[in-house]
Structure 1
Amino acid sequence: MRTTLPAVSGLVLLTALAACTSGTPTPPPAPAPSSTPAATSAAPPVAKPTDATTLATAITTAMRGKKTAAANTTVDTPIANVATKATAAVRFEDEQVSFTVTGENPKLAAIALSAVVLGETTYAKDQASTKADPAKPWRLLSEKSTRDRQNSGELIEVKTLAETALPTQQLAWFRTGGKLEATAEETVDGTATTRYTITVDLAKVAAATSDLQQQVQLESDVKSGITSVKHEIWLTADNLPLRWQRTWPTGLGGKPTITDTRFTDWGKAAEITAPPAAQIQK
């Protein structure tokens, strides 16, 4: 190694001096260790997921390894004539996720919503809160709060918006009701990826969930004919998603809702902080 070279040089010098002064033959010094590091084998490639459960684990591990990402989502739904857009920045911290997200629709200004989620703390602002107090548009939301009955509704809206950009709930559904249907090698924005097609059986998810509200909603969907959701996910060789498209049927043969998310800036710095205290309503 490089750190042994000065010591070896010193040893050679001392040996030479001893030979000159003592007149006794001195055996030659041992050869210095090579400073060239031994060749190392390349890291083995990341194994490709083979079912919906291992796919969910692989994606979760890859995302948490990179810590941060940006996401841009388009939600094309028959409810609106113009697609809703959502932008988000995400940061993974241990078992928590922090993110900022904004959703808006050019023809439905009233549904515009921005949120900042820092672990268990959620801040949100919308058209109503901004109109009520332009200087303090942000509201602090808490599931445990009983002071404001709107909190639960707003938290659901934030969660729904967050899922468009960060579908962690869908990953959990893969484990309880997902089936890997097909894979294909494709390119996304010049990067080689593998496209995974997964269907999620909503009846299985409903039977497995401990969330009563979610169970009721899913059972209602199944009864109306919405029995499964299709996912197409484009992953890099390291299992990072570059694109994630979900097709959610509307029932009765109507046009489905398609959510298409593009992920960028994996591993780049993402500033996610609470709104200024002066802008938060009391």
Structure 2
Amino acid sequence: MRRTALSTVVFVLGALLGACDGETVAFADARALADGTTSAIDGKAAKFATDVTAGAMRSKSQGQARVARAGTALAMTTDFLGEPLELRLVDKIVFAKVPESAREDVPGGKPWVKVSADGADPFSQVAGGSIDQLAKQNDPGRALDQVRRAGTLIESGRTELDGASAERYRLDIDVAALGGDLPAGLSAEAVGELGGKLGKLPMELWLDDARRPLQVMLDLAPVLAASGAPDSAMARIVTRYTEWGTQADIQAPPPDQIGELPGG
């Protein structure tokens, strides 16, 4: 009788331990997920590749990110409007490398310019918002901050991503709770024009066993739906992170290589 009871206890404990090892995830709500993952990647660097899809349009980016609570630094290339474009994000300032064919428009023919979403120069006025978002949407720290401020955890579980063990979290991001820090190039004006039709954006986050992001997917189909696009229209941003712990010396361009475009 005693052996039977002991065997039962051992079996139950073994089942519970097995469930903890293979089924449970580290975080039970959105805030804990954001805080824990932010701590896991603070001061670390990784490589990333981003795929942006909007209907028939597709854009790809790749680069390195060095994450810090004070601000992530990025060095990346992207096929912006079909042309290769090199960007750096350092100290919350976005720098763009001017194509050689357009450097005659930069005083002194300097290869780099600062780009701002609210800049007065013609380049910033035409493309500043898009370029600013291209750089910042690859920042895992920013995505986690949006989860912290506006996320609701919908579902979580253990899974595999490209054959590696992963935790997968599915969330809803409340657009209204984000204030002015909207994802994917959305502006407050654009959201206002949708007349309150845009409520929440689905997000999925995959973490490795060290609680570092492996993949972040933001579903933008609700934006198209609120704009009246067909239900089948797809729009999403998928960013993959690899080689956490890589060395990434990301600096702003030298001051003597940065030109200033005249205001418009």
State TM-score, norm by structure 1: 0.68
1:248 to 211, 217, 220: 220
Partner of 1:120 in structure 2? 92
* Corresponding position: 1:73 with 2:50: yes
Higher CA-based Rg: 1
After TM superposition, the structure 1 = structure 2 runs for residues 148-163 of structure 1, keeping only pairs within 5 Å, are 148=121, 150-151=123-124, 154-163=127-136
Q: Which residue, 199, 206, 215 being the options, matches 1:227? A: 199
Structure-1 separation of matches of 2:180 and 2:131? 20
Cα separation, partners in 2 of 1:118 and 1:247, compared to 1, 3 Å = same
Extract unaligned runs of 5+ from structure 2: 1-20
In structure 2, what residue type is equivalent to 1:226? L
> What's the CA shift for 1:150?
3.8
Identical columns (%): 25
SS at the partner of 2:67?
A: strand
**Distance in 2 separating the partners of 1:259 and 1:194:** 19
Shift of 1:169: 3.6
1:56 aligned onto 2:34: yes
The one of 131, 139, 142 aligned to 2:101: 131
The aligned runs of 1:75-224 (5 Å cut-off) are 75-78=52-55, 80=57, 83-93=58-68, 95-104=70-79, 108-110=81-83, 112-127=84-99, 130-133=100-103, 136-141=110-115, 148=121, 150-151=123-124, 154-205=127-178, 209=179, 214-221=187-194, 223=196
Cα deviation, residue 201, structure 1: 2.1
**Residue 210 (structure 2) aligns with:** 238
Residues 49 and 152 of structure 1, relative CA distance in 2, 3 Å threshold = farther
CA contact (8 A) 1:165 1:261 kept: yes
2-side partners of 1:210 and 1:85: how far apart?
25
**Structure-1 separation of matches of 2:180 and 2:236:** 27
Match of 1:186, SS? Answer: strand
Q: Do 1:101 and 1:161's aligned partners in 2 also have CA atoms closer than 8 Å?
A: no
How far, CA to CA, are the matches of 1:256 and 1:227 in structure 2?
A: 17
Question: Is residue 2:250 matched to residue 1:272?
Answer: yes
Contact 1:73–1:164, Cα closer than 8 Å, also in 2: no
Give the residue type in structure 1 aligned to 2:201. Answer: V
- Kindly indicate whether the alpha-carbon contact (under 8 Å) linking 2:119 and 2:128 is maintained by their aligned counterparts in 1: no
* Alpha-carbon distance between aligned partners in 1 of 2:27 and 2:148, rounded to the nearest angstrom: 13
Paired residue secondary structure (1:131): helix
- Distance in 1 of aligned mates of 2:239 and 2:118: 31
How far apart are the structure 1 equivalents of 2:52 and 2:119? Answer: 31
Q: Is the 8 A contact 1:116 1:274 kept in 2?
A: yes
Letter in 1 for 2:53: D
Find the residue that maps to 1:165 and give its secondary structure. coil
What letter is aligned with 1:268? Answer: T
**Would the aligned equivalents of 1:203 and 1:222 in 2 still touch at CA under 8 Å?**
no
Q: CA deviation at 1:86?
A: 0.6
The residue that corresponds to 2:7 in the other structure is none
3-state SS in 1 of match to 2:26? coil
Q: Which residue of 1 aligns with 2:235?
A: 257
- Output one character per residue of 1:137-167: Cα deviation in whole Å (capped at 9) or x when no partner: 3113467965x25436544223311244224
Q: Distance in 1 between matches of 2:233 and 2:153?
A: 24
State the superposition RMSD in angstroms: 3.1
- Aligned-partner Cα distance in 2 for 1:94–1:202: 23
- Superposition TM-score, scaled by structure 2 size: 0.72
CA distance in 1, matches of 2:215, 2:116: 32
**Distance apart, 1:49 and its partner CA:** 1.4
